[in-house]
A and B are shown apart, each in its own frame.
Chain A
Amino acid sequence: MGAQFYAIPDDTSRFHVDLPVRTLMAYITGVGDTAFGRHAGETALTLMAQAANAALADAGLARAEVDGLLCGYATTLPHLMLSTVFAEYYGLQPVYAHALQLGGATGCAMAMLARELVDAGRCREVLVVAGENRLSGQTRDAAIQTLAQVGHPDYEVPYGASVPAYYALLASRYMHEYPVSETDLAEFAVLMRRHAGAHPGAHLKEPISVADVLASKKIAAPLKLLDCCPISDGAVALLVSREPRAGLGVRIAGAGQAHLHQHVSSIASVSDLGARRAARSAMDEAGVGLGDIDYLGIYDSFSITLLILLEEIGIAARGAAAARLGSGDFAPAGRLPLNTHGGLLSYGHCGVAGGMAHIAEAQRQLARKAGARQAGERHCALVHGDGGVLSSHVSLVLRRDE
């Protein structure tokens, strides 16, 4: 299965080496999470442990069988060695451990690395976990101020720009170059809320309308409050294994990355942010094309994030993502169900785990274990995470072994 050699695509050739590609063996054999929202009294470690317990239970694996550990970061626990702090707390003695930091792309990057580790034979069972009490562990102002440091410390932060402002700048330019309206953006916020309504663990479930989004509090034009994800507490864990579980194989069939800039003022073009390059790498490696994808887990820190990613990856033409939404394609019964858990915009955002929730939901959809949210029979998912200001891009292709 899969391509024997990289087909070198036009715009990604400088990132590829013309080497034969093997089919890497790595399966997501368990997923676990906490509900997202407010969990007063919990810490990053207690939330991570709850998600880890759920993932191990889902996989039917004993804690002692975990031999690799990858952790994200937690703004409420900014430790030098979060992975081994968690290992000691949780009672693991892995042969391989570290924490990884790539903003919102961390979860996809950890899954990609876990895949390499089990394929290389370094580990058999890698626990990938992240979580934090981002909402209840600090004031909202402290969280917003911490996140604003994503900006350039010398050339952006001094102007009083915030994370929504960085994305708003990007949005203003994208909406100048392509026919995208504030109503188009609002449609995505409404869709995510509708999906979250079907998930008992979602942070925000109360239905909203396009009018509600447009009338919500101004944050950084053109973005309003309901174009922005909430700040949540929560955790997600995945178990990445060398062997499939009996009767259930959801394989990480391809992965790819692209990193073209860090800061919004260093973006060369809003039409080439790296998403398409990462997604094409992942799909080439999996030996699939966009036409083979039948489920989407796409990062959605803001409504504009989701719209740009869908259009850059090529799931919709430029300026046409909202029309595709309007046609019903992104609904659970549509051709390409999108973030059926509600995404960051409504399931919630607690940092690294927020981006991992897209992976967990994709695995559940492929495994046909999404319960009331099950979107029919899905075979091949594209999951995409981005960190910074659409800076770091990591794509995964997940396939169900048939």
Chain B
Amino acid sequence: MNKHAAHFWEGCAAGELRYQHCAACAALQFHARAFCLRCGGAKLEWRTAQGSGTVYALSSVARAPTDEFRALAPYVIVLVDLDEGLRMMAHGAPGLCIGDRVRAGFFVHGGRSLPRFDKS
């Protein structure tokens, strides 16, 4: 894992959804990089999302790709549009629908704290 994304996962362990903010142009980005995707600026600050958003897409996964996740199946994968204007993948509670307002929580699986959204 690259060191930028590691900061995101450290945030999840602390119960936070972290993203990058460009000090030069104020653009936000969720997939962390060493540079701003809009202006190329190298000065990026970490911020913490409020944790609320709207379900953009979802799927209940019955056939897990790894043993690690087979035990959890079926589980719901969601794409959520955070209120900050960023889209992220996460787990979702069963029964969610596209368009639902959701709030992030966290659960530990395979030694990692994973975000999971449920209806707010």
Contacts and interface: CB of A to CB of B under 8 A. Distances in A.
Interface in B27-47: 30-32
A159 B98 contact: no
Nearest to B115: A159
B49 interface: no
B41 to A, nearest CB: 20
A172 B59 contact: yes
Contacts of A162: 61, 63-65
Contacts of A155: 5, 8, 30-31, 88-89
Nearest to A219: B63
A152 interface: yes
| Range class of the A interface residue count | 35 or more
A309 interface: no
A176 B54 CA distance: 14
Given A154-B2, A219-B63, A169 B79 contact: yes
Contacts of A20: none
A218 B1 CA distance: 31
B90 A159 contact: yes
Interface in B81-120: 87-91, 98-99, 112, 114
Interface string A128-166: 000000000000000011011000111110111111110
Nearest to B98: A176
Contact of A148 (B31, B65, B89): B65
Contacts of B8: 154-155
A159 B72 CA distance: 11
B62 interface: yes
A220 interface: yes
Contact of B63 (A156, A172, A220): A220
A156 B59 contact: no
| Range class of the B interface residue count | 35 or more
B5 to A, nearest CB: 4
A156 B61 CA distance: 14
A388 B74 CA distance: 24
A162 B2 CA distance: 21
Interface string B2-33: 10010011000000000000000000001110
B88 to A, nearest CB: 6
A154 B68 contact: no
Of B8, B30, B32, B64, most A-chain CB atoms within 10 Å: B64
Contact of B61 (A145, A165, A176): A165
B62 A160 contact: no
A217 interface: yes
Interface in A11-42: none
A221 interface: yes
A153 B56 contact: no
A52 interface: no
A153 B62 contact: no
B104 to A, nearest CB: 13
Nearest to B80: A265
A336 B32 CA distance: 45
B62 A154 contact: no
B68 A160 contact: yes
B1 A161 contact: no
Given A265-B88, A265-B89, A217 B114 contact: no
Contact of B62 (A156, A170, A173, A220): A220
6 A-B pairs with least C-beta separation: A160-B69, A154-B5, A168-B59, A218-B62, A162-B65, A148-B65
20 contacts: A144-B63, A145-B66, A153-B1, A154-B2, A155-B88, A159-B91, A159-B114, A160-B72, A161-B65, A164-B61, A165-B59, A169-B59, A172-B59, A173-B57, A176-B98, A217-B62, A220-B63, A221-B60, A265-B30, A265-B89
Interface of B: 1-2, 5, 8-9, 30-32, 56-66, 68-69, 72, 74-75, 77, 79, 87-91, 98-99, 112, 114
